[in-house]
Structure 1
């Protein structure tokens, strides 16, 4: 039995296909808002609009394509069940809507997939199999299970119906903001980019479509050049950490996508933090890739009306907390200082008084007496302080030095070593 998608599954959907998909999913997913982002506009120099796909029930855009594909199955296929491979968001979408439609679901996920996504997928009732280090390795196991157990394959991006579902985002963006100059879209396997480009270019041929990949997984960039991508490494954007881009994506990109760019991990990290602190919304690494592109090359977008697709918000809370602290450290709103002091009563109180009088908030103190490089009558004190900004941090250090203390700045990560 051939459980894989039919040959025509790799054809590009038409605008009519995407419009039909929009009719099909109406009332089953949220028609997410496309809203101006004033603070991101001030930060980047572009006129930024954000499409909030993180508001979907499963926290990401993947529901659109999953519903279209699931509803195309016949009664026999629905009864037998479906299988998909995914780093998380496609998995949750298929599991959630499979359960809603009464279709058994098996999901194969790479072993490094964030626990929050694994737990959510299981929570929707799917059978989860963890296999391989990457999406490509997970796909091999998914294909084996599909052949052995007779499941219908639901590919996360290289399927015409899935791409048509994702393309409804392009319809909505142009309908809601017909004067957009540019749409910047994250790229993993390329299903979203393909569908969005087909819809947006059909409605407004002049709109610029730019795909964004992480530098660690430049699959589409390589495919368009006809070279083999050098992919690998830990990325915050695991949702787009794809080694093998889809055939539909390559075909669409050659004719409809104006450019595909890559962004460094540092820009993705900064973008996640900006969405959280400025827009008060959660973006996972893949979802923040579009904003990362604006950070990486701001002059390209300056003065233009730019639509960003915030594709998903399923980020591990621990990672998010670490990113926030790291950004505060970069901005010198959290600093650590090492002070050499005489070991006598009230010394810690004196230090705390100086810092407190200047408005610094002490977060952590480490007092060391027994290091061999410390005088027998002395001590080293590491203090981590919350400040207003870099100038305020400098003011605190200067005040301590003016009182005769030997003070050096140390990385926050080293303060308790």
Structure 2
């Protein structure tokens, strides 16, 4: 299981490679939310999302012989790009399984980082696990899971270490930390880091409407599963259920989940661009949407929202900005 020592070790391995992203504030966002709102701008991380942290942590922790044979990942885009770039920096091969209906930009960027992209028909029922198992066996690759991997969680936890340090530097002693949540790797890693370094902060996972498996799981006390396809506006965080590793951490350390609508996500994307000139993809904007539109369920005091990714197609982003 991931612990603070593993997170700190991941931070040591990340030094000089993983970017320390800024904690940003805009008075006009504060006015919209009715409280201080700070954004942890992981959109400025390598590959445009926090996923590079976990990918670097997991690949750098492999023994050299295993690492040299290469890695495999499956992802709709952000984990794909993070693993591809981390593998490229290590000089090892990466094979990435991506759904054929993933955003074009994410497929193109993954290939540009040097990975072999294998597309599968998600809508038609092809099973990425079957394809991935065959590739691992045939090529001797190591699977880097997107969230249910102790080293990946440790890498995401380095973001929590930064939040603790940056919040203290600007005088924040307690806050609600809102995380964009798919399988829970980012949420559980940050929660573990803050438990050790800023225990007065409370982590709340945020999900899009229709994909609220984490919120339902936390409410029920057992893992709940989404039954629909893993496709929708917030593609980066659409997972069928919380992870077997991540859920116990979230259950122990996190407050109740928050669910936002697509319209709220679009408004948050516009607000981030208008007020901070940040480009957020839909899945990377759900935490800000909760900060802006769900204040009634938040504790009093400041909010720190993860701006977790910015890999959005130009046409999609333009349609959001021009919507009335």
Normalised-by-shorter TM-score class: over 0.9
TM-score (norm 1): 0.72
Larger radius of gyration: 1
Q: Is the 8 A contact 1:109 1:129 kept in 2?
A: yes
Q: Is the 8 A contact 2:291 2:303 kept in 1?
A: no
Deviations 1:320-378 (A, max 9, x none): 0111111xx2xxxxxxxxxxxxxxxxxxxxxxxxxxxxxxxxxxxxxxxxxxxxxxxxx
Alignment CA distance shift 1:205-1:57 (3 Å): closer
- Structure with the bigger percentage of strand: 1
Does 2:124 align with 1:124?
A: no
Deviation at 1:266, TM superposition (A): 1.2
Does 2:304 align with 1:307?
A: yes
Does 2:205 align with 1:216?
A: no
Deviation at 1:303, TM superposition (A): 5.0
Deviation at 1:234, TM superposition (A): 4.5
In structure 1, how many angstroms separate the alpha carbons of the residues matched to 2:217 and 2:133?
A: 23
Partner of 1:321: 318
Q: 1:207 aligns with which of 201, 219, 225?
A: 201
CA RMSD of aligned residues (A): 1.9
Consecutive unaligned residues in structure 2, runs of 5 or more? none
Partner of 1:151: 141
Deviation at 1:26, TM superposition (A): 1.0
Deviations 1:12-56 (A, max 9, x none): x11111111111101101101112222211111120011111111
In structure 2, how many angstroms separate the alpha carbons of the residues matched to 1:121 and 1:36?
A: 31
Deviation at 1:222, TM superposition (A): 3.5
Q: Is the 8 A contact 1:216 1:235 kept in 2?
A: no
Does 2:155 align with 1:165?
A: yes
In structure 2, how many angstroms separate the alpha carbons of the residues matched to 1:233 and 1:107?
A: 17
In structure 1, how many angstroms separate the alpha carbons of the residues matched to 2:307 and 2:175?
A: 17
Deviation at 1:253, TM superposition (A): 1.1
TM-score (norm 2): 0.92
In structure 1, how many angstroms separate the alpha carbons of the residues matched to 2:225 and 2:104?
A: 31
Consecutive unaligned residues in structure 1, runs of 5 or more? 1-10, 330-417
5 Å-filtered alignment, 1:7-406, equals 11=1, 13-133=2-122, 137-178=127-168, 179-224=173-218, 225=220, 226=222, 227-232=224-229, 234-301=231-298, 303-326=300-323, 329=324
Alignment CA distance shift 1:295-1:117 (3 Å): same
Q: Relative contact order, CA 8 A, sep 6+: which one is greater?
A: 2
List, as ranges, runs of 4+ consecutive aligned residues in structure 1 with deviation greater than 6 Å.
Answer: none
